[in-house]
């Protein structure tokens, strides 16, 4: 556990506080975590809406169905091709999650 022993008092206008609260809420973190991420050069992204999660679930189901088809295939070459296709879908899913969910590093300062 990191020890935080430096206290910071920060005075904001009501408008600035509203912006901070809105941005931290959108990223699903508290104001402290949002400010720490900003200091560390991370850009916390707003949490995606329900449509994003539904699309990701469809992709997961599709890859799982491809895996199930591969298990029923008789030809070894077919199984390898089908499994390779399922792997591509899972890699696409990971790339989408990386782009939309993980914090993005911004210029160091």
pLDDT in tens, 80-105: 888 888 888 888 888 888 888 877 77
Q: Is the pLDDT of residue 13 over 70?
A: yes
Q: Is the pLDDT of residue 25 over 50?
A: yes
Please list the residues that pair with 43 across neighbouring strands. Answer: 104
- b/e per residue, 13-30, with b = 16+ CB within 10 A? eeeeeeebeeebeebebe
**pLDDT at site 107:** 66
The full DSSP string for 19-56 is HHHHHHHHTTS-HHHHHHHHHTTEEPPPPP-HHHHHHH
Q: What is the DSSP letter of 104?
A: E
Question: What is the pTM assigned to this prediction?
Answer: 0.57
**pLDDT at site 21:** 94
SS3 102: coil
Q: What is the DSSP letter of 105?
A: E
The bridge status of strand 42-43 relative to strand 104-105 is: antiparallel
**pLDDT level of residue 109 (50, 70, 90 thresholds):** very low
Among 87, 80, 81, smallest CA distance to 64 is for 87
């Amino acid at each position: 556990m990191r020890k935080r022993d430096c206290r910071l008092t920060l005075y904001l206008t009501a408008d600035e506080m509203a912006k901070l609260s809105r941005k931290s809420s959108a990223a699903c973190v508290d104001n402290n975590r949002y400010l720490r991420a900003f200091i560390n050069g991370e850009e916390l992204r707003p949490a995606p809406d329900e449509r994003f999660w539904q699309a990701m679930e469809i992709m997961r189901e599709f890859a799982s169905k491809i895996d199930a088809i591969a298990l029923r295939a008789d030809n070894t070459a077919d199984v390898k091709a089908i499994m390779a296709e399922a792997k591509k879908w899972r890699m696409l899913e990971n790339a989408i999650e990386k782009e939309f969910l993980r914090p993005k590093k911004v210029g160091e300062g």
